[in-house]
Amino acid sequence: MVFELSSYKRGEDMADCIFCKIVNGDFNTKFIYEDEDAVVFNDINPKANIHMLVVPRIHVESLNECEDTELLGRLLNIVKKVTKQENIPSYRTVINTGRDAGQEVFHLHIHILSGDIKL
């Protein structure tokens, strides 16, 4: 059987997706914020004084595969909520899409960076 590149190109599915495992609580990751759509936690390799990741609960490989525009809006709203909660008035958001752009984890996520940003 020949698989379409789009669905199997990474050789990775939800079962071995690190962010799915974090969302499921497999690593007891501390969530800075969570709701029905997403969780927010600190990046393990911070590129700024503050470096958080907004990760949707559903597994979507990247922005290119996300059909749910309402979810995308709610994810941006979570950026607003968590930065307000954490008293971060000024920040940069980044979404890496595709390996050539630096995407390493193929589960959609939004970086939030603030303070001495090295990215």
One-letter amino acid for residue 59 of the chain: H
Q: Within 31-60, which residues bind Zn ion (CB under 5 A)?
A: 59
55 membership: H or E segment, kind and range: strand 50-56
User: How many whole angstroms separate alpha carbon 39 and alpha carbon 91?
Assistant: 18
CB neighbour class for 74 (10 Å; exposed up to 12, middle 13-18, buried from 19) = middle
36: contact with ligand AMP by CB under 6 A: no
Q: Which does 62 bind (CB under 5 to 8 A by kind): Zn ion, ligand AMP, none?
A: none
Site string for ligand AMP, 50-89 (x = CB under 6 A): ----------------------------------------
User: How many whole angstroms separate alpha carbon 25 and alpha carbon 16?
Assistant: 14
96: contact with ligand AMP by CB under 6 A: yes
39 membership: H or E segment, kind and range: strand 38-42
43: contact with ligand AMP by CB under 6 A: yes
103: contact with ligand AMP by CB under 6 A: yes
Residues annotated as catalytic (active site), given as ranges: 109
Binding site for Zn ion (CB under 5 A): 17, 19-20, 59, 107
